A and B are shown apart, each in its own frame.
Chain A
Amino acid sequence: MNVQTYIIVSLVKIVLTLFILLTGVAYSVWLERKVVGHMQNRWGPTRVGPFGLLQPLADGLKFVFKEDLTPPHVYKPLYIAAPMIAVMFALTSISVIPIGNAVTVGNFSTPIQITDVNIGLLVVLGITSLGVYGVALAGWSSNSKYSLLGGLRASAQMVSYEVSLGLSLIGVLILAGSLSLRDIVLAQRGAYLGFIPHWFFFKGQFFAFFIYLISAYAETNRIPFDLPEAETELVAGYHTEYSSMKFAMFFMAEYANMITVACLATILFFGGWLGPMFGPAWLQETVLPLFYFVAKVFVFIFVYIWVRGTLPRFRYDQLMAFGWKYLLPLAIANLVITALIVALRS
């Protein structure tokens, strides 16, 4: 592949991935409002379009046309930069995630992924760990006690849960023997007895999966760990002083992070785009993998919403005690046992 084709193909992929991600963000918001609505015996959005399907569009327009207020006494450079930092890192982390297998047009074939780096997982972890700056700086620069408390809570919580999140993934890495997300997916091919797939979830990493899921909820500041924006105590937490598109950026960042977390869970524990294959080559190579991947990610998004509709919020000391006293030892135990089993087998 020469340089020009490479650049064009990469640009097309970036634009497409961003478009899909942002549409996904918009419709996860719609899905959340709809599902939580039904759980609470309400209808959710119904007015704009059939089943309220055009509601995200209306919301977006509303955000654009709202007045962009900047309160006095904020520290302006960081107040303006914070939402940009949050949304930038949230959107960047999708770049190394393989969404599907490959596309072939004529004799030209390319993987459905912006770029495959051999430390893909570390790149995702690194970028998401930078995302905390958006939240922390928003809280600090707003010059409001609610924002500051929200920002402090968010940074403490994200730093704490990142440890167990990282440790829960190492078991998978030991089994897969690679940090490249594509290789991790390919290591999960095949099935036991012909129908239980070799996904790492079934290969003994189910504790790791639940540790990952719980820490990921804390990382994305979602119920039951949404203390940074607990509206009953902190108005809206770190984005209290934000309005219009700046608020929308935080909102987009939160949902984009949810989607990234769901993608990672799919890739690391549930076999990525793998699934039963049938039909002609183009179906097997492109359409079915994409379908399986999106379906699995959808399940995780749904579980997010389900949990939100079900669980109450933790108290702050409970959150910290749970993270450090239960989740972290469990993650370490899982890592040691996995390493022992792998070492004994080889």
Chain B
Amino acid sequence: MVMFLIRRLGHGILVLWLITVAVFGLFFVAPSNVAQTLAGRQATPETIALIKQRLGLDQPVWKQYLDFIKNALHGNLGYDYYHQVPVTTIIGQALPITVSLALGAAVLWLLLGVFNGVISAVHPRSLADRGLTLFSLFFYSFPSFLLGLLLLYFLYFRLTLAGFTWFPAGGYTGITQGVGSWVQHLLLPWIALALLLAATYTRLTRGAMLDVLGEDYIRTARSKGIRERRVIVRHGLRSALTPVVIETVFSLPGLGQTAVVAINQQDLPVIIGIVLFASAAVVVANILVDIVYAVLDPRVRLH
């Protein structure tokens, strides 16, 4: 058991390190004229060079990477180019929003999942059951941004026109400013995200998903059950952790939207910081999932 833990952790750290190298490499290999943008159109080459120096962009790439890693291990992910705000602060501000979104959606998703499970267990092959399958196919095919926009159209615009101002057009208010308002702003995004996740989950449990396809052919039924759940969790984690599109459509300044804005501004430290943070979260979550399943099923440890 201890051996398994060590192996798994080591594996995770290795993957994490590789991600930092890959991300850093990708972003720095691409030419960026951040310094130019910051300096403005009229800037002289000297000004640009000065800005470059101040941002540390004139150093060789590998040195920038080492500095970055050194700082990161001390909890410092750099400063954004435009306002010199620490990236950790930016992440800290955006994270609660994303977490609120993810948690609420997860709760809704669990409810939907229980409902789905009950129906398929108690009334298999009934009309309701088949309906659920069709439903899940329908929402699985729905692009996230379209779903968000349509929810806004029908549940915000049309309802508001009809006099029911139940939902806002977007934006976020912190929970400290009133739970009611918090829920109100997050409800539509929760519904959107939960529907999408539930659709994927339903398809998976009905033997329809991609990643377990190969497994169908080789695993026994019991271990397949375990595998399916692991894959669901992994899938769920991957998509729930960076709901970029939902945040953009509903104007929620969470990690996803912050990253998109940073990308448009070519604010490298922020981009790298968020990407690394999200990747690390996925890796850690996967490790946790694996540990949980290793505790539950000893055979997994022998993998």
Our verdict on whether A and B bind, yes or no, reads no
